[in-house]
Amino acid sequence: MKLLEVTGLSVFYGDLQALFDIGVSVESGQTVALIGANGAGKTTFLKAVAGLLTSKRGNIVFDRQKIGGYAAERIAHLGMALVPEGRLLFQNMTIEENLIMGGYTGRKGYWTLAKIYDLFPSIASRGREMPFVLSGGEQQMVAIGRALMANPRLLLADEISQGLAPVVVDQIYKSFPAIRAEGTSIIIVEQEVKRAAAVSDYTYCLLKGRVTLAGRSEALGFDALSHAYFGT
Ligand SMILES: Nc1ncnc2c1ncn2[C@@H]1O[C@H](COP(=O)(O)OP(=O)(O)OP(=O)(O)O)[C@@H](O)[C@H]1O
Ligand SMILES: [Mg+2]
C-alpha cells in the first residue's frame, strides 16, 4: 500500500520557486532516501509534506487522505513526525520533557519513554538534564526519540548525521531496524550518498528543486548518481 504519494508538488518562497513539479511516493514499511546538494530543496520538500509551508501547488496524499491543505498539527495527528534539520530541541526543557512533548498528539503505540530509553541507552539516565549538556549525537537521539514519541506512521528525518562523527552516525543508524520493525515508514534526507543508499529501499535525487534521479537504491550506478547529484 502507498502510504505517501506526492505528485506535481511545487513550492514557493515569495517569488522564488524552490521545488518544481516533484513526484515522490513511499510504500508502507519502506525507507526512502532523499539526496541532493546544499540548496537542492530537500528540507523544503519535508516541510511542505509536513504542512509547514503553505505556498505550494500539487497533490499530497497521506494514508489515502489529501493533506495538501492541512495544517501541520492536523498532519501530525494523522501520524507524520519530523526530525527537523539542526534538531531544534527545546533548550529550556529537560531531555525528558523534550521527549514527552513529542507525544503531544496522544497517538498510542509501541513507543513510550521507556522504549525510547531502551533504543538509545546513552540518554536513558539523563532525562533530568538539559539538552545542552549532551553531545551532538545524543542530542540527535533526543530529536529522533521526540519524533518517535508521536508513534508516527511516517518519520521524516532531515540530515540526522549532520556534524556528527562517523561512529556516532553508525550508532544512530543502528536504531533504524527497530523503528522499521514497528511498521514505520521513513524518509531520510542525507548528504552522504553511500550511507543513504545503504539504509534505504528507494532513492530520489534532487537538484535545484527538481527530481533528477529515482530508483531502487541497490540498483543506482555511480555515474548516473553523480550526474543527477551535481548536474555535470
Ligand atoms: N525560508 C526561506 N526563504 C527563502 N528561500 C528559502 C528559504 N528556505 C530555503 N530557501 C531556498 O530554497 C532552496 C531550497 O532550500 P532547502 O533548504 O530546501 O535545501 P536543502 O536541500 O535542504 O539544502 P541543505 O542541504 O543546505 O539543507 C534554496 O535555494 C534556499 O535558498
Ligand atoms: Mg536542508
Nearest CA to ligand 1 atom 28: 39
Count of Cβ atoms closer than 10 Å to residue 90 Cβ: 14
* Ligand (nearest to CA of 206): 1
CATH code (residue 112): 3.40.50.300
Examine the pLDDT at 193 and tell me if it is beyond 90: no
Whether residue 18 has its Cβ less than 6 Å from ligand 1? yes
Nearest CA to ligand 1 atom 8: 44
130-181 pLDDT per residue, tens: 999 999 999 999 999 999 999 999 999 999 999 999 999 999 999 999 999 9
**Residue 224's pLDDT is what?**
85
Task: Using the mean position of ligand 2's atoms as its centre, give its distance from the Cα of residue 167 in Å.
Answer: 22
Whether residue 232 has its Cβ less than 6 Å from ligand 1? no
**Residue 44's pLDDT is what?**
98
3-state helix, strand, coil in the chain (%, to 5): 35, 30, 35
Q: Which residues contact 9 (CB under 8 A, 6 or more apart)?
A: 19, 21, 22, 23, 24, 45, 48, 56, 57, 58, 59, 60
DSSP letters for 182-218: TT-EEEEEES-HHHHHHH-SEEEEEETTEEEEEEEGG
Largest CA distance in the chain: 50
**Residue 220's pLDDT is what?**
87
The domain in which residue 200 lies consists of: 2-230
Nearest CA to ligand 1 atom 2: 13
Closest to 61 measured CA to CA, from 117, 13, 1: 1
What is the tally of structural domains in the chain? 1
| 112 class by beta-carbon count within 10 Å (0-12 exposed, 13-18 middle, 19+ buried) | middle
* Ligand (nearest to CA of 16): 1
Q: What is the mean pLDDT of the chain?
A: 94
In this structure, which amino acid lies at residue 26? Answer: V
Please state, in angstroms and rounded to a whole number, the distance separating the CA atoms of residues 151 and 218: 29
Please state, in angstroms and rounded to a whole number, the distance separating the CA atoms of residues 95 and 100: 9
Examine the pLDDT at 53 and tell me if it is beyond 90: yes
Q: Which residues contact 180 (CB under 8 A, 6 or more apart)?
A: 29, 31, 186
Whether residue 40 has its Cβ less than 6 Å from ligand 1? yes
Q: 222: pLDDT confidence band, cut at 50, 70 and 90?
A: confident
Q: Which of 43, 161, 208 to mutate for ligand 1's pocket (most ligand atoms within 8 Å of CB)?
A: 43
Taking the CA of residue 37 as reference, the ligand 1 atom at the shortest distance is 25
Examine the pLDDT at 86 and tell me if it is beyond 90: no
Please state, in angstroms and rounded to a whole number, the distance separating the CA atoms of residues 218 and 139: 31
Please state, in angstroms and rounded to a whole number, the distance separating the CA atoms of residues 181 and 72: 26
Q: Which of 42, 158, 188, 190 to mutate for ligand 1's pocket (most ligand atoms within 8 Å of CB)?
A: 42
